[in-house]
């Protein structure tokens, strides 16, 4: 179910619609906050506009894949896992 901003009712939406919305918003956040270089010229290629929080039920392999996707693929710096806390 989906409730639009400021709406007072829920709408049924397809999984394809939901995945497209997530992809668009993730790309928009990354594009708006991505930093290629610091003012001193150092290359960083990261974004602080996206974060990831994993749960304690994820195993080592799942955490490894999430870390690779978020940090290597998207440039996310803020990645945390509940199991470490």
**End-to-end alpha carbon distance in the chain:** 32
pTM above 0.75, yes or no: yes
- How large a percentage of the chain has pLDDT more than 70? 98
Residue 68 pLDDT level (bands cut at 50, 70, 90): very high
Q: Which residues of 19-48 are buried (b: 16+ CB within 10 A; e: fewer)?
A: eeeeeeeeeeeeeeebeeeeeeeeeeebbe
Which pair of tokens denotes residue 33? Answer: 């906050």
User: Mean pLDDT across the chain, nearest whole number?
Assistant: 92
Which pLDDT score, from 0 to 100, does residue 34 have?
96
CB-based contacts of 37: which residues, under 8 Å, 6+ apart?
43, 44
pLDDT tier, 85 (very low <50, low <70, confident <90, very high otherwise) = low
Structure token digits, residue 54: 């994993």
Question: With 70 as the cut, is the pLDDT of residue 41 above it?
Answer: yes
């Amino acid at each position: 179910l989906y409730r639009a901003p400021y709406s007072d009712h829920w709408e049924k939406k397809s999984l394809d619609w939901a995945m497209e919305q997530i992809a668009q918003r993730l790309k928009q956040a990354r594009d708006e906050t991505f930093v290629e270089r610091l003012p001193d010229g150092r290359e960083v290629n990261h974004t602080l506009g996206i974060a990831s929080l994993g749960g304690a039920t994820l195993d080592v392999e799942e955490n490894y894949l999430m870390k690779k996707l978020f940090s290597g693929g998207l440039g996310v710096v803020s990645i945390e896992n509940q199991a470490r806390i």
